[in-house]
Amino acid sequence: MQVRRCLVGISLAAMFTVSGSFGIAADMVQVAFPPKYAPAPDMDQPNSGAPTVGGLRIVVDFAAILHVEGGMSVIAVGNPAIADANLVNRSTMIVTGHLAGTTNVLALDDAGHVLADVLVRVSAQKPGMVTVRRGTQVEVHSCITGLCEVGPNDALSPAAPLAAAAGS
């Protein structure tokens, strides 16, 4: 089993492979999966018919690194409004949480065979983070140090692209 913990800038990165267990520590995420292709505990199963690799839990506006063996060439996200995935190379993708909810990410090889079907649960921001929404305007405040500071809203706001498209 391979488990790594790391904190990258303001993004919490969880690195894992296709075998192990799942757990969350205070400010770090430790992720690994049950034995290969075992269903994720306490999570709904995806309907793709693909082998379920496990579950990934991330926080809104945070990212996790996912390693899948077998040579990925295509990835697909069930609901891109909840999470987004980007292929880094043939064995690594980065999954970013946008809105609270549950979706799945499929990894396919060159022949179109499903290598992995990963359930992704995105939860609200962690304690100390406050989001204020006024119509299409979104402000994210970091209140971790006892003093609330406004974050870079364009980078932290899941509604920023919608507001820009609406001409706000």
Specify whether domain 3-123 bears CATH 2.60.40.1080: yes
The residue ranges of every structural domain in the chain are 3-123, 129-165
User: Given this model, what pLDDT does residue 93 score?
Assistant: 94
Confidence of residue 113 (pLDDT cuts 50, 70, 90): very high
Confidence of residue 125 (pLDDT cuts 50, 70, 90): confident
Query: For the residues of 143-157, what is the DSSP string, one character each?
Result: -TTSS-EE--HHHH-
Residue 90 burial class via C-beta count within 10 angstroms: exposed 0-12, middle 13-18, buried 19 and up = middle
Mean pLDDT over 74-79 rounds to 95
- Write down the pTM of the prediction: 0.52
Query: For the residues of 156-168, what is the DSSP string, one character each?
Result: H-TTHHHHHHTT-
**Structure confidence by residue, pLDDT tens digits, 77-112:** 999 999 999 999 999 999 999 888 999 999 999 999
Mean pLDDT over 30-55 rounds to 46
Q: How far is CA 59 from the centre of its chain?
A: 7
User: Given this model, what pLDDT does residue 90 score?
Assistant: 93
Q: Cα dist. 85→21, 25, 36, 77 in Å?
A: 22, 24, 21, 7
